[in-house]
Structure 1
C-alpha cells in the first residue's frame, strides 16, 4: 500500500482523469489500522509525515468488508480495506508533512519547512544546500490533539519576554547543540530578538507547558490546517516525534459466527444495500423476489429466492435492534453483547458445515480421558474469520482496556459511514471453565484480596482520568470492573499462549487471546489469526484435544510456579503499567502486546497456582 503526499503532485493523469501523486513509501494494509493509521506519524527517508484523515482516502467497492454484528456495534454502514497502491484496488493513502518545523545543521536555522526554499522533491536548506532535519519534538494532549513543539513560546516565556513592543522586532530562531552532554540541556534555542537562550531541559515534564501558560492549540494536522478544535482544556505534553505515546490505536474486532458466517449471508453481502432500498420503498415481495432471481446468488440453485429474502429481513432486524452498550460504560470488552453471542456459539459448536463457510467449531475428542481439573469444555475452532477495524486513536496515555474511555480522536473532518478494517482467517481452541468450581474459588479470601488490590489501583486511575478530561460522571460512580474471575482467566490465557508457542512452533506474537468473562461467561479463545505466514502453520487446534490439554496445562502450571525473578515477582504488591499487575513479569506471564487484549495488565499468576503462604489462592492448586 503506497503512501502519497497530499500536496506534491506529479505531472500526468490516471485513467480517471485525476492527477496522480508520486508515492513516498509503502506499508502493509494491516499496518494502516495497527501501526500507521490515521493520525500516526511516520518517517520516510529524511522527512516526517502524518497519515491523513479518512475523507482523503479513495476507497473502492471491490474492497468492502462485511461483518454485520461489528457494523451495528460501531454504528457504521460498512468497512473498507485500506486502499492498495494501484488501481483498481486504490491509489494509496494520503499523508501530510508533519511536523512543519525543520532545522538546518549547517546554518542552525529553525523554522517552517516552506521557509527554507527547498527545491521540489528534496529536503535541503535553500541557503546552504545542506540536508534539513524535521523537529525531534512535538506536543500532544490526551484528547488526541497534536502540534509542533512551541519553540517560540518556549524560549520567550522561559525568559519572561514576549514579542517586541513595536511589533517590528525580527524573530528568527536557531537550534544549536553544545555537545557537552547527551541530555536536553545541550539543545539550546536562540532568537534573533536578543532574548536569553533557553535549553530544552525540563520540556518533557508533565506540567512543563502548563507552568509557562502554554495551552493546547486543538490542532489536528492529519485533517488539515483548518481542522482546529478550540477550547481544549487538556494539558499539552512534549513527546518525541517517533515515540509510541504519540499514537495509540483503538481497534475493535468481531468473529464471524452463524448466521452471518454462512454461505447465504456471504453471497448476500454485495447485494444487500440494493435489497434494502427495495424494502425501504415498500415494494411487494413478488417484485423483490424477481430481483433476487436475477442476481448471481441464485446461480447454482443452492438457495431459493424466498430464503434469500428471509436472510435480508434477518439482517434488517439486526440493524433495527437496540444499539449495544454505550462506550461510556465502564466494562471490559470481554463482557459485551458481541462477546456473549460469540461465547454461545463457541460453547455449543456448529457441527459439520460447508467448506465455504467462515466458522467451524466442534467438541474436542476425549480419547477416553476427562478434561483437566477446572475445565468444563474444550472446543476445536477449525475455521474462524475475524474482522478488525480502526475505530479511533488516543495520544499521550494508552486507551483504557475498559469501554469507559471517551478520549477518541476523529478519523475524518466530516461524518463518514465507514471505517478501515482488515479480515484475517485462522484456527483456535476455546476453553470454558467449570463455573461451579469457579464460584467456590471466587469466595476465598486470597483471590478476593489480590483482585481488590488491582481493582483499587485501576479505580483510582479511572477517576483521575475522568477528572482530567472533564467527565460529567461523578467520580464516586466510576469503579473498575476487575474481578478475581477476570484476572484468573486472563492469566490462564497468557500462560497457555506461552506454552503452546513452545509446543507447536508458533511465535507467541502469532497467537492471540479472546476473552469471554462476565457473570454469565467464563471462557478463553486462543487462536491464530494473522495475515502473514506465521498464521498458517497449523497445529493450534490439536492443542485442544484432551490428551494434549493434560500435557500442556500441567506443563504450563509447573512453569508458572517458578519465575527467574522470584521472590520479588511473586511478592510484588504492584507491577506493570500503572501498577495493574501483581505477580507477573516478562520472565513468566507477559506476552507481546499484539497477543493481549489489555496491554499486558490485570495479570497475577498467583491466581493460578497460589502463593507460598496460601496455596488456596490458586484455582488449580487441587488439580496439580
Structure 2
C-alpha cells in the first residue's frame, strides 16, 4: 500500500505546526503500519520517491512522548529483554515530528532523457527528486535492489550487470560512459527493460536478474550495507546477494512478538510500578517492600505490599527452572507466556470481581454448552475485554513464507536499546477448546499420523533448505493437534467473515497447541476496523457457535479448486488448503498460511473418517 500524500499540518490554534527540526515531510502512514508494514528497515514509496525507514537509535530523543507514548507489557518486555515499549509517533494534523526516513535506493532514472545514475549526479535542488537537464522532470527510483538473507540491502549493480563481458575499468573504477535505461514496450517482462552505455558495450536486458545465482555468477558480493542505520559501517558478509523488486514483500518481513495482558498484570498496577522493579526485586521481605512503597508513593496509599509480592512471585514463575543459554531462556519464557495465557483463558476472569481498569475480562456463556459436545468442543469462553501488545523485535529479508523460519534477524538499531516499537490492540474474542481425550484418540489413527508426517517432512526440508546452517534448524511444529486447530481457526474466521459481517483481516487467530493445550482464540485484530462492540463475543454463545461450526465444516467439505485441492500431493507445507478454501489474509494468521489441511477436519472422499469432525457432518 502506498502512503497518502502529505497533509497540511495545523496546530490547535490554526497555525501550521512546524517540526522540531527543519526536515522535509514525506507523506504519512497509520501508526499500526509502522509495526507490520513500514517498520524499521522497510522501503516506503511516496508519490514518485522511495525511502527506507531509519533505525531507532535516535528515536527515543526525536519521538515526543505526547505523540509516541510509553506502553508497558511486563511479561513481553521480560521475554524480549527490554524495559518497555513505545508507540510510533501519531500522524495527525497537530503532529510535529515523525519517523525518520532516508532516500533509498540511490540509483534513479529519468524517463525523458533515459539517464540511469545515482540521484546526486542529476544535481536536483535540495528536497527534490528531479532531473535538472530535463526541466525538472521527476526521477524514477530504481525498481530493483540487492539484498541477502543476513538483512543487508544495497542498490542493484547496474554497471556490473551491463558490463558483464567487458570489465575494462578506467581510473574511476568504471568505463567512463553514461548509462541509459529504456523500455522497448514489446512486453511487460524483464526482457523489455534495456540497459545501455555510451562506452559502446552491447545493450542488455534485465532478463535473468532474478535467478538465485545471477549476481554471484557476475562476481558480485554482498558488501554488508545497512542503509537504515545511521553511520553503520559495512559488515563482513558471506551470504549470496539476490535481486529483488523494490516493492516485494521479500525485501522486508517483520519479526513480531505479542502477548495478552492477563492477571495479575492486567489491572494497571504494573504501569504505576514502572521504574521501581529492579529495586523491588532486590527486597527480600514483605516488610521491606511495604517500607519502600511508603517512601516511593507517599501520596498513594492504595498500593498493597501483598499485591506487589504476588506480582514478584508470578514473575519468578516465568523464569527457567534450569540455567542455559540466553536463547533457550527466551524460548522457554515465551512458551511459559503462552501457557499462562491458556490457563487464564480456561479459568476466566469475571468482570464483577474486577475494577474499571481491568484489561482482561473472560467469562463463560450463560447458556448450556451441551450443544457443542458432538463437536468435541468443551465450554467456550467469551473474552469480553482483552489487550494485546505486539512488538517489532527485528526483521528479515528474503524470508520464504512457506518456511515459517525467521532466518537471520536484522537489528532495529546500531546499538542495543532498552525499548522496542510496539502497538496495542484493545478488542474482544472467543476462546474455543477441544476435548483432549477425544483429540488424542483421533491423533493416534495411522492415517492421521501418516498425513501429518508428510506435512512435517516437507516443512523440515523447507527449513533446512533455507537455513544458513542446516545442522541448526528448529524442528517443524507440525503435529496432528496443531494442524487441526490451525485449520479450524481459519475456517471459523472465514465463516464469521461471511455470516457475521466481519472482514477476515479484522480477525486474528492465537493458537495454543503445545502438550497439555488444545485451544484457539479468535479475536479482533484491529480495534479501529471492526470495533469491539460485542459482535465477536456474541458468536461464542453455544447455539451460535454450534451453527457456525457446522456451517464452516460443511463449507470445508468442498473447494472451487477441487479435486486438485483435496487430492494435493505437493511438496509444500500445506495439503488440502488453498486461497479458495482455507487461507487467510497474512495479518490474520500466526504461521504465514502454512501447515493447513482441511482434510483433517472433514476427511477426504477416499477416507472420510480421516476428519476429526466427520461424525458430526454425517448426522
What TM-score, normalized by structure 1, do the two folds share? Answer: 0.88
Residue from 488, 495, 501 that aligns with 1:492: 488
- Contact conserved, 1:56 with 1:94, CA < 8 A, in 2? no
Residue from 519, 522, 546 that aligns with 2:518: 522
Task: Tell me which residue corresponds to 1:93.
Answer: 99
Question: Displacement of 1:621 after TM fit?
Answer: 1.5
- Cα 1:140–1:331 shift into 2, 3 Å: same
What is the alpha-carbon distance in structure 2 between the residues aligned to residue 51 and residue 207 of structure 1?
A: 28
Residue from 236, 247, 251 that aligns with 1:246: 251
- The alignment partner of 1:93 has SS state of coil
Residue from 63, 82, 98 that aligns with 1:76: 82
Question: Displacement of 1:15 after TM fit?
Answer: 11
- Contact conserved, 1:495 with 1:589, CA < 8 A, in 2? yes
Residue from 211, 222, 226 that aligns with 1:216: 222
Task: Tell me which residue corresponds to 2:362.
Answer: 361
- Cα 1:322–1:25 shift into 2, 3 Å: farther
Question: Displacement of 1:447 after TM fit?
Answer: 1.1
- Cα 1:89–1:16 shift into 2, 3 Å: closer
What is the alpha-carbon distance in structure 2 between the residues aligned to residue 167 and residue 488 of structure 1?
A: 59
Question: Displacement of 1:233 after TM fit?
Answer: 1.8
1:328-347 to structure 2, matched below 5 A, reads 336-347=335-346
Task: Tell me which residue corresponds to 1:605.
Answer: 598
- Cα 1:182–1:334 shift into 2, 3 Å: farther
- The alignment partner of 2:380 has SS state of strand
Task: Tell me which residue corresponds to 2:156.
Answer: 149
Residue from 393, 396, 408 that aligns with 1:394: 396
Question: Displacement of 1:453 after TM fit?
Answer: 1.4
Residue from 287, 293, 312 that aligns with 1:289: 293
Question: Displacement of 1:246 after TM fit?
Answer: 1.2
Asked if 1:380 is matched to 2:360, the reply is no
1:231-242 to structure 2, matched below 5 A, reads 232-242=237-247
Residue from 582, 590, 596 that aligns with 2:589: 596
What is the alpha-carbon distance in structure 2 between the residues aligned to residue 517 and residue 332 of structure 1?
A: 15
For each residue in 1:498-553, what CA deviation from the matched residue of structure 2 results, as whole angstroms up to 9, or x when unmatched?
11222322111111110000121110011113131413343211222221122111
Task: Tell me which residue corresponds to 1:59.
Answer: 63
Q: Bigger CA drift: 249-258 or 83-92?
A: 83-92
Q: Bigger CA drift: 351-360 or 518-527?
A: 351-360
What is the alpha-carbon distance in structure 1 between the residues aligned to residue 273 and residue 103 of structure 2?
A: 40
- Cα 1:565–1:387 shift into 2, 3 Å: same
For each residue in 1:177-199, what CA deviation from the matched residue of structure 2 results, as whole angstroms up to 9, or x when unmatched?
23333322222222333333322
Question: Displacement of 1:257 after TM fit?
Answer: 0.5
- Contact conserved, 1:42 with 1:50, CA < 8 A, in 2? yes
- Contact conserved, 2:259 with 2:390, CA < 8 A, in 1? yes
Question: Displacement of 1:479 after TM fit?
Answer: 3.3
Residue from 568, 573, 579 that aligns with 1:572: 568
Residue from 21, 39, 42 that aligns with 1:40: 42
For each residue in 1:157-202, what CA deviation from the matched residue of structure 2 results, as whole angstroms up to 9, or x when unmatched?
2x24241379695242222223333322222222333333322111
For each residue in 1:17-74, what CA deviation from the matched residue of structure 2 results, as whole angstroms up to 9, or x when unmatched?
9533232111111000001000111111121101000113223456111111111111
What is the alpha-carbon distance in structure 2 between the residues aligned to residue 290 and residue 166 of structure 1?
A: 71
- Cα 1:393–1:162 shift into 2, 3 Å: farther
- Contact conserved, 1:83 with 1:90, CA < 8 A, in 2? no
For each residue in 1:126-151, what CA deviation from the matched residue of structure 2 results, as whole angstroms up to 9, or x when unmatched?
22222211111111111211111101
Task: Tell me which residue corresponds to 1:9.
Answer: none
Question: Displacement of 1:428 after TM fit?
Answer: 0.9
What is the alpha-carbon distance in structure 1 between the residues aligned to residue 262 and residue 411 of structure 2?
A: 30
- In structure 2, the gaps of 5 or more residues are 7-15
Question: Displacement of 1:228 after TM fit?
Answer: 1.9
Asked if 1:532 is matched to 2:521, the reply is no
- Cα 1:324–1:56 shift into 2, 3 Å: farther
- Contact conserved, 1:608 with 1:621, CA < 8 A, in 2? yes
- The alignment partner of 2:379 has SS state of strand
- Contact conserved, 2:20 with 2:97, CA < 8 A, in 1? no
- The alignment partner of 2:399 has SS state of coil
What is the alpha-carbon distance in structure 1 between the residues aligned to residue 388 and residue 195 of structure 2?
A: 50
Asked if 1:204 is matched to 2:210, the reply is yes
- The alignment partner of 1:544 has SS state of coil
- Cα 1:275–1:488 shift into 2, 3 Å: closer
Task: Tell me which residue corresponds to 1:550.
Answer: 546
Asked if 1:408 is matched to 2:409, the reply is yes
Asked if 1:461 is matched to 2:462, the reply is yes
What is the alpha-carbon distance in structure 1 between the residues aligned to residue 403 and residue 84 of structure 2?
A: 25
Question: Displacement of 1:481 after TM fit?
Answer: 2.3
- Contact conserved, 1:272 with 1:312, CA < 8 A, in 2? no
What TM-score, normalized by structure 2, do the two folds share? Answer: 0.89
What is the alpha-carbon distance in structure 1 between the residues aligned to residue 311 and residue 273 of structure 2?
A: 10
- Cα 1:372–1:592 shift into 2, 3 Å: farther
Task: Tell me which residue corresponds to 2:453.
Answer: 452
What is the alpha-carbon distance in structure 1 between the residues aligned to residue 83 and residue 93 of structure 2?
A: 24
- Contact conserved, 1:4 with 1:21, CA < 8 A, in 2? no
Task: Tell me which residue corresponds to 2:133.
Answer: 127
Task: Tell me which residue corresponds to 2:428.
Answer: 427
Report the count of equivalent residues.
596
What is the alpha-carbon distance in structure 2 between the residues aligned to residue 396 and residue 485 of structure 1?
A: 30
Question: Displacement of 1:484 after TM fit?
Answer: 1.1
- The alignment partner of 1:257 has SS state of coil
What is the alpha-carbon distance in structure 2 between the residues aligned to residue 181 and residue 100 of structure 1?
A: 27
- Contact conserved, 2:4 with 2:46, CA < 8 A, in 1? no
- Cα 1:567–1:334 shift into 2, 3 Å: farther
